């Protein structure tokens, strides 16, 4: 490693973002967004439907197929106070799929809005789900950092927790949109290929893709693969510390199936990543492979990628070897998919291993995602952002897109 990224000052990653440049709503047709093209330090612009023209035939493009859940639940106390319970990640059971299938009881780590009004006691809400009248209760447990353990219980074994969220949850659109969730967000804040429920924020680079763009990519001979990273609310957490060493990255859960690992090996460990979530997952795979090279019998927990792990030691094994180690691990354990978690922080000083090209939106000032982009374009992020600001690009989740080819 050349420099120690822990001492990067986040203030160096600031830029002026006027409120009117933040896209409050998406365009009526997703793939008509603008596309900033950054190729070998040169910046041009196009329209998103032209994306396939810029990509080499035979390359591998990887998407995050996570689906945003309607994670916000509202309860009204007898006093009239409105309490918002925002489900962040499942605790009991701690597997997303199993938790969504629970009947009668589930526990989640939650952020609580209007916490001071919920000192104790149980919150209740009467509702009708799938034709059944039920009472949903929420009981607050221990505090974990800025979140709380919350036990949910309901009195009908025919109703799953997924059913409850589907009917009574609200989609959590980003806080910086400064507006209420609208019915249209249920569709526009999901990618067209979203499948696996679990995110509390959309992998927004994927919002530009339409069936016709996906078809055009396939016609160009580009291999399309999917993986899953469930995006946590921590993605919006601003860096409050002066140096990034003081910022604790949130943990996100990843799942990559055997076939995707094989495809990556077939493509010499090189991929085009759609979105920073795919980037974080793909780069985490390399470090998981490094762990397995040292500890072939590592458990799922031991495969978790710690925040600063990539900067600690560098056994320079090639990406393909790292991926083969994961394949070996899956084979030994009779697994079809790798399930683990990552806390990786990608900042200038990081050496990319697998991601060669990136499709991404424009990120908030002083955010860890801006650090990730800067590391990818060798510090040249200002050129890109200055161009976007002076050429009427729309910013953040519902904004325009960029294609980065270092």
* Per-residue pLDDT tens over the stretch 151-171: 999 999 999 999 999 999 999
Q: Of 124, 144, 170, which marks where a domain is finished?
A: 170
Q: What angle do CA 25, 31, 32 make, to 5 degrees?
A: 75
Q: Which two tokens stand for residue 58?
A: 């035979």
What is the Cα–Cα distance from 130 to 402, expressed in whole angstroms?
42
Residue 146 has what pLDDT?
Answer: 84
Alpha-carbon span 227 to 255, nearest angstrom: 6
Q: Are residues 150 and 196 in the same domain?
A: no
pLDDT given for residue 233 in this prediction: 76
Number of domains in the chain: 2
Identify whether 181 is part of a domain.
no
For residues 301 and 343, membership in a common domain is answered with: yes
Q: Are residues 54 and 22 in the same domain?
A: yes
Within-domain flag for 180? no
Q: Are residues 340 and 215 in the same domain?
A: yes
- 140 and 254 housed in the same domain: no
Question: Where does a domain end: 124, 140, 170?
Answer: 170
Same structural domain for residues 198 and 165?
A: no
Identify whether 92 is part of a domain.
yes
Structure pTM?
A: 0.94
Which CATH number belongs to the domain containing residue 197 in this structure? 3.40.1780.10
Below-50 pLDDT ranges, the chain: 1-2
> 110 has which bridge partners?
87, 148
pLDDT of residue 125: 95
Opening angle at CA 240, ends 345 and 354, nearest 5: 15
Pair 199, 346 in one domain: yes
User: Helices 368-376 and 276-294 sit at what angle, rounded to 10 degrees?
Assistant: 80
Q: Tell me the CA distances in angstroms from 354 to 265, 280, 287, one per residue in order.
A: 10, 10, 11
End-of-domain residue from the set 170, 198, 231: 170
Phi, psi torsion values for 152, nearest 5 degrees: -105, 140
Which three-class secondary structure state does DSSP give residue 219? helix
The whole domain housing 103 covers 71-170
**Domain co-membership, 13 together with 113:** no
């Amino acid at each position: 490693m050349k420099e120690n990224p822990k001492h990067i000052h986040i203030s160096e990653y600031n830029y002026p973002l006027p409120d009117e440049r933040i896209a409050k709503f998406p365009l009526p047709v997703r793939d008509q967004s603008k596309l900033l093209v950054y190729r070998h330090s040169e910046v041009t612009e196009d329209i998103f439907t032209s994306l396939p023209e810029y990509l080499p035939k035979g390359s591998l493009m990887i998407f995050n197929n996570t689906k945003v859940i309607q994670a916000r639940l509202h309860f009204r106390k007898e006093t009239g106070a409105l309490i918002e319970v925002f489900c962040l990640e499942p605790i009991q059971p701690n597997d997303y799929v199993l938790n969504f299938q629970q009947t009668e009881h589930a526990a989640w780590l939650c952020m609580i809005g209007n916490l001071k009004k919920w000192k104790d006691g149980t919150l209740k809400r009467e509702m009708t789900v799938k034709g059944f009248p039920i009472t949903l209760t929420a009981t607050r447990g221990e505090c974990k950092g800025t979140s709380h353990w919350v036990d949910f219980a309901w009195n009908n074994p025919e109703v799953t927790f997924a059913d409850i969220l589907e009917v009574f949850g609200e989609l959590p659109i980003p806080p910086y949109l400064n507006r209420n969730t609208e019915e249209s967000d249920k569709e526009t804040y999901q990618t067209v290929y979203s499948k696996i429920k679990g995110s509390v924020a959309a992998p927004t680079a994927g919002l530009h893709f339409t069936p016709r763009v996906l078809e055009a990519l396939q016609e160009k001979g580009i291999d399309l693969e999917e993986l899953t990273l469930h995006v946590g609310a921590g993605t919006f957490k601003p860096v409050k510390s002066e140096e990034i060493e003081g910022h604790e990255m949130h943990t996100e859960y990843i799942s990559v199936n055997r076939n995707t690992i094989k495809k990556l090996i077939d493509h010499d460990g090189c991929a085009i990543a759609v979105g920073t979530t795919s980037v974080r997952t793909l780069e985490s795979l390399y470090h998981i492979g490094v762990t397995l090279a040292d500890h072939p019998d590592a458990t799922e927990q031991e495969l978790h990628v710690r925040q600063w792990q990539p900067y600690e030691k560098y056994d320079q094994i090639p990406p393909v070897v790292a991926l083969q180690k994961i394949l070996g691990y899956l084979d030994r354990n009779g697994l079809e998919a790798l399930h683990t978690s990552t806390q990786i922080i990608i900042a200038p000083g990081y050496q990319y291993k697998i991601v060669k090209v990136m499709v991404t939106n424009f990120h908030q000032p002083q955010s860890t995602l801006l650090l990730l982009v800067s590391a990818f374009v060798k510090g040249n992020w200002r050129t890109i952002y200055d161009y976007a600001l002076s050429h009427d690009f729309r910013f953040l989740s519902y904004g325009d897109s960029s294609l980065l080819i270092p």
